[in-house]
Homo-oligomer: A and B are copies of this chain.
Amino acid sequence: MKKLIQHVALYQDHRVLEGQNIAIDGSRITGFPEAPKDSEYDEVIDGKGMLALPGFVNTHNHVAMTVFRSYADDMQLMDWLEKKIWPAEAKLTDDVIYAQSMLGIAEMIRCGTTAYADMYDHMDQEARAVEESGIRACLCRGSIGIGPNAQAGLDENRQLFLDWHGKADGRITVMMGPHAPYTCPPDYLHKFVDQARELGAEIHIHLSETKGEVENIKQQYGKSPIALMDEIGVLDCGCLAAHCVWVDDDDMDIMAEKHVRVAHNPGSNLKLASGVAPVPKMLAKGITVGLGTDGASSNNNLDIVEEMRLATLIHKAHTLDPLVIPAETALNMLTEGGAKCLGYTDVGKLETGYKADITLVDREGLHWYPKNDTLSLMAYSANSMDVDTVLVNGEVLLRHKEFTKLDIEKIKAEAERTRKKLFAQI
């Protein structure tokens, strides 16, 4: 099926070109014709007044945790986990995970997100939701090496890879998901590395999120979490590392050398009082950085445009330098950088041959006036509700802010039904 997006402003090579056309055949971009004939296309999308960007990428999520959105805020981390989250997580079932994944995926699509990375449990159900919804996702089974479910986590992650990697027209890929150094002892991590090597899978892991974690790991192993992961071989598999708030120059040198990709989650890091990751320094060292929302239980939404705004703002004040993370850097983290984080080689740019994962942003809101500079307006003034149209793999999932294939009222009702069911047991 051939589609044409016409009369659109195109973000390409860090600049905006007005009055362009994007031709799509099946799942891929086939070109940018100057004078296309409508009759040659099965569907023509009017892009007038819109900015076309590569689809936004959310590089770190626990999507079904939408069930815990605003369930318990303004608490100390360990109180929150021990009294609220862990008892509730122990009661999670397949139908909660499926319903809450659908909710979170719909919310992400509404915000212009075309691909996301996720780490959680009952991942078959989430994969089902990805398949049905049309979004692109990079999934892993979040696995903890201490406690009775250690082997099950490893086995389920392996099975997830075998069952789902490359499925849903290639929209689903699977990584291995050991949770973090402080929950996964070295012998357990070695098993994950072995498994990743055997399968040809990459690894998604939380690293150096809090100061306390880094201090504990250094005390226990005599080296930083990054150095420990390097020693164990985690960084040699291709690694997506979430957070990396407390990394020093030596850590970042290792990360650069081993091509670790960083999921930067500014909203979560601020709200949980973890700190501010040294992103400007990472970028200066050539490390790939994308943006993540983290789960809605800690953030509390899945609005990746809000994360992009935070990334433009917080590093300027943290370094007292107004020039760090300029507009084009923020937009790159939101799109191309995020796609690289997830390991994609044909997603993240609006170029011929790339997958047609495209987000059209409406530029007619009051906050888009007057029309001084489109890139700056997108980075510093736009909000996620400006997103008008979303295509993934060439399929239109959102048009004029309405969902084309998801039944949103049913999704909201199911999210509410499964929340009540879960909390009735606690």
The residues of A with any CB-CB pair to B shorter than 8 Å are 66-71, 73-77, 100, 103, 106-107, 110, 211, 267, 269-276, 296, 299-303, 306, 309-310, 312-314, 316-317, 319-323, 326-327, 364, 366-367, 369-373, 376-377, 379-381, 383-385, 408, 411-412, 415-416, 418-419
- A103 to B365 Cα, complex, angstroms: 11
Assess whether A314 is in contact with B316, with CB atoms less than 8 Å apart: no
Given the known A-B contacts A270-B313, A312-B271, are A416 and B371 also in contact in the complex, defined by CB atoms under 8 Å?
yes
Query: What residues on B are CB-neighbors of A74 within 8 Å?
Result: 322-323, 326-327, 376
* Docked-complex contact A381 and B69, CB < 8 angstroms: yes
A376 CA / B72 CA spacing, docked (Å): 8
Q: Which of B273, B301, B319, B416 contacts A370 (CB 8 A)?
A: B416
Q: Quote the shortest CB–CB distance from A411 to chain B (angstroms).
A: 8
In the assembled complex, the Cα of A321 lies from the Cα of B380 at a distance in Å of: 27
**Closest residue to A313 on the B side, CB-wise?**
B270
**Which B residues lie within 8 Å of A301 (CB)?**
367, 380-381, 383
- Select which of B103, B273, B276, B309 is within 8 A of A369 by beta carbon: B103
**A274-B317 contact in complex given A301-B380, A370-B103, C-beta closer than 8 Å:** yes
A296: B residues at CB distance < 8 A: 367, 381
Question: Which B residues lie within 8 Å of A211 (CB)?
Answer: 320
Q: Which residue of B lies closest to A302 (CB)?
A: B367
Chain B residue contacts of A271, Cβ below 8 A: 312-313, 316, 322, 380
Residue in chain B with minimal CB distance to A420: B370
CB-CB under 8 A from A71, the residues of chain B are 372-373
Given A70-B377, A73-B327, A273-B321, A370 and B313 contact (CB-CB distance below 8 Å):
no
Provided the pairs A271-B380, A317-B269, A317-B276 are in contact, do residues A76 and B323 lie with their beta carbons within 8 angstroms?
A: yes
A218 to chain B, nearest CB (A): 18
Contact: A320 with B275, CB < 8 Å?
yes
Number of copies of chain A assembled together = 2
CA distance A300 to B6 in the complex (A): 29
Given A317-B270, A366-B412, A367-B302: A373 touches B70 (CB 8 Å cut-off): yes
Q: A70-B372, A303-B367, A372-B71 are in contact. Are A317 and B380 (CB under 8 A)?
A: no
Are B327 and A377 in contact (CB-based, < 8 A)? no
Bound-complex Cα distance A68 to B381 (A): 12
In the bound complex, residues from chain B placing their C-beta under 8 Å from that of A310 are 310, 313
What residues of B have a CB within 8 angstroms of the CB of A377 in the complex?
A: 69-70, 300
CB neighbours (8 Å) of A385 from chain B are 383, 385
List, sorted by A's number, 25 A–B pairs whose CB atoms are closer than 8 Å: A70-B380, A70-B381, A73-B326, A73-B379, A74-B322, A74-B326, A74-B376, A75-B322, A211-B320, A271-B312, A271-B313, A271-B322, A273-B316, A273-B320, A273-B321, A275-B320, A296-B367, A300-B376, A301-B380, A302-B367, A306-B309, A310-B310, A370-B419, A372-B419, A383-B384
In contact, B273 and A67 (Cβ under 8 angstroms): no
CB-CB < 8 A to A110: which residues of B?
366
Give complex CA distance A202, B320 in Å.
33
User: Which of B76, B107, B322 is within 8 Å of A77, CB to CB?
Assistant: B322
Select one of B270, B309, B415, B419 contacting A316, CB under 8 A: B270
Contacts of A300 in B (CB 8 A): 376-377, 380-381
B residues in contact with A68, CB < 8 Å: 372
Nearest neighbor of A310 in chain B, beta-carbon distance: B313
Contact between B366 and A275, CB atoms less than 8 A apart: no
Instruction: Tell me if A103 and B366 are in contact (CB < 8 A).
Output: yes
Q: Which of B75, B274, B322, B419 contacts A272 (CB 8 A)?
A: B322
CB-CB < 8 A to A302: which residues of B?
367
Contact A69 B372 (CB under 8 A): yes
Instruction: Return the contact of A366 from the options B106, B273, B380 (Cβ within 8 A).
Output: B106
Given known contacts A68-B372, A69-B370, is B75 in contact with A273 (CB within 8 Å)? no
**In the bound complex, how far is the Cα of B368 from the Cα of A69, in angstroms?**
9
Q: Does the CB pair B322–A412 fall under 8 Å?
A: no
- Which residues of B sit under 8 angstroms from A320, Cβ to Cβ? 211, 273, 275
